[in-house]
A and B are shown apart, each in its own frame.
Chain A
């Protein structure tokens, strides 16, 4: 292994700083009082509190699932603080009023919070610990009738929309972590794109966990009305801490007839150090419901988190709907990832396409777990799945668990998977053309992931490529 690579491998997590600001934090522990306190702090209407309480009661009866291929010590749900907000968080008249310290944080992260600095033309909703601290480009979006605001604001301002769609894709009783999220979610983003509107810019949320010993439970709800189009990006970081922090988010996408929703994630939560100490447990439920002729596309680049456990899924309910899943998941050191997708074909002539690229290095373990289910009525359903794994070193693992369940004989389902390593002959060829070993590896890896990166919006694709480089560099010699 070259010294240059070694240097790069040992490169610190560059987003590992923490911001010293006063926070309004609930003491650790979870009971009905905490759920009520969170709801009260957010001035929520009665129906919202009822929904949370229903979820909480359901959660109490549920047990933590352990079927995934990841190992972690038992989580003490009573040791987590379920609400942490920057002290100064109160409704802001304009972004200029934002706490300078928070703004500094986002500047360090490279989030263009200030509109004037915004060349990228991306509207950003930034979530700091549990609350949303500001949404840019709100006015511009309003002109097109697009609603893009924090979840708390949506509950206050657009209750009829929230009530109609909240839980319609991921019910509060869906699974253990979704129920927990439904009970204690503090904020998140809400998007509504009206009929026939093509959202004029990429929407984006940046999540950051700052306070120690807190969990982040955000909830995102995106509704694209008939014929609408929206592309949404999500990024995540957290400071370095030696304890594990829980992140249990829920994302619901609704694509009504002929609508398109594109959801891209670059997940770079703190992954823990090289000995596997600390890091984020990323236990997320993401699901979309596609109505007739609509399209839902998930793209994810997972480089962070000590443990990633998520399956962005699409319920292809309407006829002629399409679901897509493009994923790159990288694990290094002691990271573990169990990720994949579910495509549930219910409507006729539904299509789904899955491309998953897993890269394992160090002592990381990467699992692809995917389900393609064709229901008896899904005539003419079509699925193509490709999942490739690359192993770097012999202390890591790559696993594939595809479930193919077909109940209609007009369906065509194909699944292909391969596992390989970077060939010495490939490296030799590149070197012989004048590239260094590192350049060769980075070129081969980015070629391996190309099909997924090309689905990402431009600025994210660049970030993703860099992240991949940082996560992997030095693991190949």
Chain B
């Protein structure tokens, strides 16, 4: 695939401003130099990108037709009043979108932002996500090829009344293709916003989504970022979220992953001001032979910050989950308070989890803990439920749901939390009214 990407780049029509062209060239050159990582790269130790590296993906074809409103509504019910941008097969679909420039928030496609917000892009775009690290070549590839995507700017002091929904869809024409969606989120000082980034499939198989989201969270602002990875079961998904936090800002992320044959989700946040907080939560529910790898990195670069992390996994069949959570504490980041937890429930004897919670600490006055557990359903709890007359299968399903619900409850958007809880309940118990 490496040569195919390099060849595709030479045929690429330059899009966007001149400064971006130079960065695109640097990015593709970097990819040419380092190529795809192998499992010898520590960050890819448990996930081999070979299925992606060895396949060939053509640039994704245009959709055969656009989905109707009821199809869209079914993907995330109850969101009719949300601001929404829809992309199908990597292309912006203006007719399905409800951008809103009023109310202190600008939501537009990347192509529109090239024209309307050149200085905003020059300041932020490609500035947060690393393209040099050989482990991050997918970001370099995205940078070289990014064509469409979303730009969100929340004006200073503004709280968005409704969440912003960025929906990335694929249809039948996506088969064998690759898209490189790029999202830029800018929360200006004192603002408060919720962004839901959803990757879902209406058809198509064996395609690759290679997404990059960059976020800048200004002084005293709060950004909720909820990421739903519900790709087709035989698709590939690589997604990186790179966040820069300023003083007293809060970044709260939730990563929900149930789709794709092979997915790799990176969530990185740098705490570059005093008094920041970062909360990274996630839930992965896998079955079949799915493989899902979450990499999180929190860099404490300034004093008085805290970070909280809770990732849970429910693994069935022969699925393979990977979690690697890194927390770095720089020498000046005194009074850091960090907490990280990863719990995995193995439902099948063929399921596999590799977890690596990692702390690297250079300051002494800090409080950092991490914990990881792996196990199956608690026999005592099961016995208790059975003794109360709940059949074995039902009890197991309820306990599995309860395990997942603990982390789902942290989602701040009621409608979304209820939706995902309902979905999990349905998946584990086969009914929505338990």
Question: What residues of chain A have their CB less than 8 Å away from a CB belonging to chain B?
Answer: 67, 376, 389, 391-421
The contact sample of 24 A-B pairs, CB cut-off 8 A, is: A391-B364, A394-B331, A395-B331, A396-B362, A397-B362, A398-B361, A399-B359, A400-B358, A403-B354, A404-B372, A404-B374, A405-B353, A406-B344, A406-B352, A406-B354, A408-B349, A410-B349, A410-B376, A413-B374, A414-B372, A416-B370, A418-B367, A419-B366, A419-B367
12 further contact pairs, Cβ within 8 A, besides A399-B359, A413-B374: A376-B350, A399-B360, A404-B354, A406-B352, A407-B352, A410-B376, A412-B375, A414-B372, A416-B371, A417-B359, A419-B359, A420-B367
Within 8 Å CB of B369, what residues of A? 416-419
Which residue from B42, B346, B361 sits with its C-beta under 8 Å from A409? B346
Asked if A419 contacts B368 (CB within 8 A), the reply is yes
Asked if A409 contacts B349 (CB within 8 A), the reply is yes
Within 8 A of A (CB), among B328-374: 331, 334, 344, 346-374
A415 CA to B334 CA in the complex, in Å? 25
A419 CA to B327 CA in the complex, in Å? 12
Asked if A414 contacts B371 (CB within 8 A), the reply is yes
Tell me the smallest distance from the CB of A369 to a CB of chain B, in Å. Answer: 10
A393 CA to B334 CA in the complex, in Å? 11
Within 8 Å CB of B354, what residues of A? 403-406
Tell me the smallest distance from the CB of A371 to a CB of chain B, in Å. Answer: 9
Asked if B371 contacts A404 (CB within 8 A), the reply is no
Instruction: Mark contacts of B121-153 with chain A using CB atoms, 8 A cut-off: 1 yes-contact digit, 0 otherwise.
Output: 000000000000000000000000000000000
Interface of B is mostly: strand
Tell me the smallest distance from the CB of A64 to a CB of chain B, in Å. Answer: 15
Which residue from A393, A403, A406, A416 sits with its C-beta under 8 Å from B346? A406
A410 CA to B348 CA in the complex, in Å? 9
Within 8 Å CB of A391, what residues of B? 361, 363-364, 366
Within 8 Å CB of A410, what residues of B? 349, 376
Known: A395-B331, A417-B369. A412 touches B363 (CB 8 A): no
Interface of A is mostly: strand
Within 8 Å CB of B356, what residues of A? 401-404
A-B interface, 6 closest residue pairs, ranked by CB to CB distance from nearest: A409-B346, A391-B364, A415-B372, A413-B374, A419-B368, A418-B369
Within 8 Å CB of B348, what residues of A? 409
Within 8 Å CB of B344, what residues of A? 406
A416 CA to B369 CA in the complex, in Å? 7
Known: A404-B374, A412-B375, A413-B375. A394 touches B359 (CB 8 A): no
A391 CA to B353 CA in the complex, in Å? 31
Asked if A400 contacts B351 (CB within 8 A), the reply is no
Query: Smallest CB-CB separation from A405: which chain B residue?
Result: B354
Asked if B373 contacts A394 (CB within 8 A), the reply is no
Which residue from B353, B357, B373 sits with its C-beta under 8 Å from A402? B357
Within 8 Å CB of A415, what residues of B? 355, 357, 370-373
Which residue from A398, A400, A404, A419 sits with its C-beta under 8 Å from B355? A404
A235 CA to B136 CA in the complex, in Å? 45
A411 CA to B366 CA in the complex, in Å? 33
Tell me the smallest distance from the CB of B39 to a CB of chain A, in Å. Answer: 13
Within 8 Å CB of A416, what residues of B? 369-371
Tell me the smallest distance from the CB of A393 to a CB of chain B, in Å. Answer: 6
Query: Smallest CB-CB separation from B357: which chain A residue?
Result: A402
Which residue from B357, B368, B371, B375 sits with its C-beta under 8 Å from A411? B375
Within 8 Å CB of A67, what residues of B? 42
Tell me the smallest distance from the CB of A325 to a CB of chain B, in Å. Answer: 17
Tell me the smallest distance from the CB of B58 to a CB of chain A, in Å. Answer: 36
Tell me the smallest distance from the CB of B353 to a CB of chain A, in Å. Answer: 5
Asked if A411 contacts B374 (CB within 8 A), the reply is yes
Tell me the smallest distance from the CB of B21 to a CB of chain A, in Å. Answer: 37
A395 CA to B330 CA in the complex, in Å? 10
Within 8 Å CB of B346, what residues of A? 406, 408-409, 411
Which residue from A395, A412, A419 sits with its C-beta under 8 Å from B374? A412
Within 8 Å CB of B358, what residues of A? 399-402
Residue with the greatest number of chain A CB neighbours at <10 A, chosen from B46, B346, B359, B371? B359
A67 CA to B359 CA in the complex, in Å? 16
Query: Smallest CB-CB separation from B365: which chain A residue?
Result: A421
A3 CA to B353 CA in the complex, in Å? 52
A40 CA to B348 CA in the complex, in Å? 57
Asked if B371 contacts A419 (CB within 8 A), the reply is no
Within 8 Å CB of B372, what residues of A? 402, 404, 413-415
Query: Smallest CB-CB separation from B332: which chain A residue?
Result: A394
A415 CA to B370 CA in the complex, in Å? 8
Tell me the smallest distance from the CB of A357 to a CB of chain B, in Å. Answer: 15
Within 8 Å CB of B361, what residues of A? 389, 391, 397-399, 419
Within 8 A of A (CB), among B369-407: 369-376
Which residue from A392, A406, A412, A421 sits with its C-beta under 8 Å from B353? A406
Query: Smallest CB-CB separation from B46: which chain A residue?
Result: A405
Query: Smallest CB-CB separation from A374: which chain B residue?
Result: B374
Tell me the smallest distance from the CB of B346 to a CB of chain A, in Å. Answer: 3
Query: Smallest CB-CB separation from A420: which chain B residue?
Result: B367
A376 CA to B375 CA in the complex, in Å? 14
Asked if B371 contacts A420 (CB within 8 A), the reply is no
Within 8 Å CB of B371, what residues of A? 414-417
Query: Smallest CB-CB separation from B355: which chain A residue?
Result: A404
Within 8 Å CB of A413, what residues of B? 372-375
Within 8 Å CB of A394, what residues of B? 331, 334, 362-365
Tell me the smallest distance from the CB of B286 to a CB of chain A, in Å. Answer: 13
Tell me the smallest distance from the CB of B156 to a CB of chain A, in Å. Answer: 35
Within 8 Å CB of A405, what residues of B? 46, 352-355
Query: Smallest CB-CB separation from A410: which chain B residue?
Result: B376
Asked if A414 contacts B366 (CB within 8 A), the reply is no
A392 CA to B364 CA in the complex, in Å? 6
A419 CA to B369 CA in the complex, in Å? 6
Asked if B370 contacts A393 (CB within 8 A), the reply is no
Tell me the smallest distance from the CB of B381 to a CB of chain A, in Å. Answer: 14
Asked if A420 contacts B375 (CB within 8 A), the reply is no
A414 CA to B371 CA in the complex, in Å? 7
Tell me the smallest distance from the CB of A52 to a CB of chain B, in Å. Answer: 29
Which residue from B331, B352, B364 sits with its C-beta under 8 Å from A421? B364
Within 8 Å CB of A395, what residues of B? 331
A264 CA to B149 CA in the complex, in Å? 59
Asked if A396 contacts B364 (CB within 8 A), the reply is yes
A412 CA to B334 CA in the complex, in Å? 35
Within 8 A of A (CB), among B29-52: 42, 46
A339 CA to B159 CA in the complex, in Å? 49
Tell me the smallest distance from the CB of A444 to a CB of chain B, in Å. Answer: 14
A404 CA to B344 CA in the complex, in Å? 11
Within 8 Å CB of B365, what residues of A? 394, 421
Query: Smallest CB-CB separation from B40: which chain A residue?
Result: A67
Tell me the smallest distance from the CB of B379 to a CB of chain A, in Å. Answer: 10
Within 8 Å CB of B366, what residues of A? 391, 419-421
Within 8 Å CB of B364, what residues of A? 391-394, 396, 421
Asked if A397 contacts B360 (CB within 8 A), the reply is yes
Asked if B352 contacts A417 (CB within 8 A), the reply is no
Which residue from B334, B347, B368, B376 sits with its C-beta under 8 Å from A418? B368
Within 8 Å CB of A419, what residues of B? 359, 361, 366-369
A412 CA to B353 CA in the complex, in Å? 12
Within 8 Å CB of B367, what residues of A? 418-420
Which residue from B331, B334, B347, B374 sits with its C-beta under 8 Å from A406? B374
A391 CA to B329 CA in the complex, in Å? 12
Query: Smallest CB-CB separation from B339: which chain A residue?
Result: A418
Within 8 Å CB of B352, what residues of A? 405-407
Residue with the greatest number of chain B CB neighbours at <10 A, chosen from A394, A397, A419? A419
A413 CA to B346 CA in the complex, in Å? 11
Within 8 Å CB of A400, what residues of B? 357-360, 370
Within 8 Å CB of A402, what residues of B? 356-358, 372
A421 CA to B362 CA in the complex, in Å? 12
